[in-house]
Amino acid sequence: MLKETIIRNARMVLADEVVEGSVRIAGGRVAAVAAGPCAVAGAVDFAGDLLLPGLIELHTDNLEKQLEPRPGVFWPAPVASVVAHDTQMTAAGITTVLDAVSLGEYHDGPKRAKMMALSIEAIGRARAGGVLRADHFLHLRCEYPDPKVLEMLAPHLCDEHLRLVSLMDHTPGQRQFTDLAAYRTYYSKHAWTDQEFETLARDLRAQQAACAAANRERILAWCARASIPVASHDDTRPEHVDAAAREGVAICEFPTTLAAARRAREKSMAIVMGAPNVVRDGSHSGNVAALDLAAEGLLDILSSDYVPASLLHAAFRLHQELEIPLPDAVATVSRNPARAVGLTDRGEIAPGLRADLIRVRRVEGLPVVLETLCAGPGLGAGARAA
């Protein structure tokens, strides 16, 4: 980004309105926003295209696809994998990324620990090498019934890039997998025999009974001391939300039922849903449809999850299908996720904030990212409280 840049003739999606005008950028931050024509020589003419704040992604599994492009095949140049992942993110208009890394072995065994270590190390090396365009942080997804989750989490609690911890329980018969047949379908790559699955389910339920409560309590205590936001993942029943609210959890990530989402709203928790769910008109695993939640005012944040390009597409579907004002729809992929994890220096187009911006044009009704302007990780994201 040049030392000073002026963008004119843009339809700017601001916090509460869409305004035609110009933006002046200096030192990687928005210096001024003005409505109306701009006659400054050398200004970049957006020709009426939309100017949006850079998108904020709280939960993406996309890096794993780059590190392990085929089952059991780990790419031998992990930093190159991170760069490829970063390129996909910025091409989708995402300028701040919380890379989701799973902690806990469950039935993937040591492979999961290998993926965790590889992901965190490679992101750090790519960041240190100055080869990333987007600002990358960590979202550690803790499978808290797992006996090894605490030893996997502990070394990373002081990492300044850790911005979110989520609490997961994928035990057969729990939450998203109350239906055991749905569990087997979701993990069909393992091709268990009936006997193998019965043994696995029995062992995992025993493991959960022995470890889950104590591990969850410890994780919450650690995160509270480090001022790390916590999300409760796949809440299915209202009592799941009640328990999380009592524990001080402020984010309800991917509730699987309308009842759970309604309780999350009652508890003033931020509700996160998957953008692919919006784009596909429903959940791929049979959970509640995100559009149905949005229609009831029960959706605050969208996550691209496993499809980076879905984030912007989903926000525009909220606007087009449900007639949610465009600034409010865009807030689900910018300001709202930023605020949920304490990133107060980004998420909207306003003087003093980072100049993370995207140029968007609708082509055959679809929003297309033409250009992504990243202020750069070196500007700093604001230190987390110690």
Task: Say if residue 219's pLDDT is above 60.
Answer: yes
Which pLDDT value is given to residue 108? 65
pLDDT value of residue 385 = 30
Q: What is the pTM of this model?
A: 0.92
What structural domains does the chain harbor? 1-52+349-375 (2.30.40.10), 55-345 (3.20.20.140)
Q: What is the pLDDT of residues 275-316, one digit of tens each?
A: 999 999 988 777 899 999 999 999 999 999 999 999 999 999
- Reported as a pLDDT band with limits 50, 70 and 90, residue 107 is low
Q: What is the pLDDT of residue 109?
A: 65
**pLDDT (mean) for 342-370:** 97
Is residue 95's pLDDT more than 60? yes
pLDDT exceeds cutoff 70 at 384: no
SS (H, E, C) the chain: CCCEEEEEEEEEECCCCEEEEEEEEECCEEEEEEECCCCCCCCEECCCCEEEECEEEEEECHHHHHHCCECCECCCCHHHHHHHHHHHHHHCCEEEEEEEEEECCHHHCHHHHHHHHHHHHHHHHHHHCCCCCCEEEEEEEEECCCCCHHHHHHHHCCCCCEEEEEEECCCCCCHHHCCHHHHHHHCHHHCCCHHHHHHHHHHHHHHHHHHHHHHHHHHHHHHHHHCCCEEEECCCCHHHHHHHHHCCCCEEECCCCHHHHHHHHHCCCEEEEEHHHHHCCCCCCCCCCHHHHHHCCCCCEEECECCCCHHHHHHHHHHHHHCCCHHHHHHCCCHHHHHHCCCCCCCCCCCCCECCEEEEEEECCEEEEEEEECCCHHHCCCCCCC
Q: What is the pLDDT of residues 147-167, one digit of tens each?
A: 999 999 999 999 999 999 999
Instruction: Determine the pLDDT at residue 203.
Output: 85
